[in-house]
């Protein structure tokens, strides 16, 4: 996918962390949903993981917690990125909106700058501290290693602000 779409989603995730004054892992999705005046409604469904209607994310109550967290963040991404087709279900072919919602969720739940600074690079460490699935953490770990190799940090004022928000958390993690 085009870097432009990646950057829009990543930057919106950083803006969310900044606007909501989020400063520790795991990310408190309840606090973020409250900030944007969004609700969660659990539903019994065999075919849908989630969908959005008005200011409510309808979430399949059978999802395991780590999957539910990513799904909520993904749906939040759709809302904050102002995607139009919000009554969707699971997609097999990933279009730009799904791609962006996944990037948003990854950057929101597992901010790369924070993971780098606390040296949580291994998938299991990321899964544990971010309360995400191992599969999601493995993908973040791969991307994080690539960012470290290319030294792609502190290039955006938004990322610098995310770091500043998490500074106390990072310093406390480095003590242990």
Helix, strand, or coil (residue 42): strand
Structural domain count, the chain: 1
pLDDT digits (tens, 9 = 90+) for 60-109: 999 999 999 999 999 999 999 999 765 544 444 468 999 999 999 999 99
Domain containing 126: what range?
A: 3-174
pLDDT digits (tens, 9 = 90+) for 119-162: 999 999 999 999 999 999 999 999 999 999 999 899 999 999 99
- Model confidence at 14, pLDDT cuts 50, 70, 90, reads very high
Burial label for 157, CB within 10 Å (0-12, 13-18, 19+), is exposed
């Amino acid at each position: 996918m085009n870097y432009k779409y990646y950057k829009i989603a990543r930057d919106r995730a950083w803006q969310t962390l900044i606007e909501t004054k989020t400063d520790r892992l795991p990310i408190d999705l309840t606090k973020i949903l409250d900030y944007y005046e969004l609700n969660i409604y659990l539903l019994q469904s065999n075919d849908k993981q989630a969908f959005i209607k008005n200011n409510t994310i309808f979430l399949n109550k059978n999802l395991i917690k780590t999957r539910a967290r990513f799904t909520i963040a993904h749906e939040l991404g759709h809302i904050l990125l102002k995607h139009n087709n919000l009554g969707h279900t699971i997609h097999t072919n990933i279009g730009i909106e799904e791609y962006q919602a996944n990037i948003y969720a990854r950057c929101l739940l597992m901010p790369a700058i924070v993971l780098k600074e606390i040296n949580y690079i291994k998938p299991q460490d990321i899964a544990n501290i971010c309360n995400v699935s191992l599969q999601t953490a493995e993908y973040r770990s791969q991307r994080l290693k690539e960012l470290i190799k290319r030294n792609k940090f502190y290039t955006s004022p938004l990322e610098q602000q995310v770091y500043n928000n998490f500074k106390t958390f990072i310093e406390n993690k480095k003590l242990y």
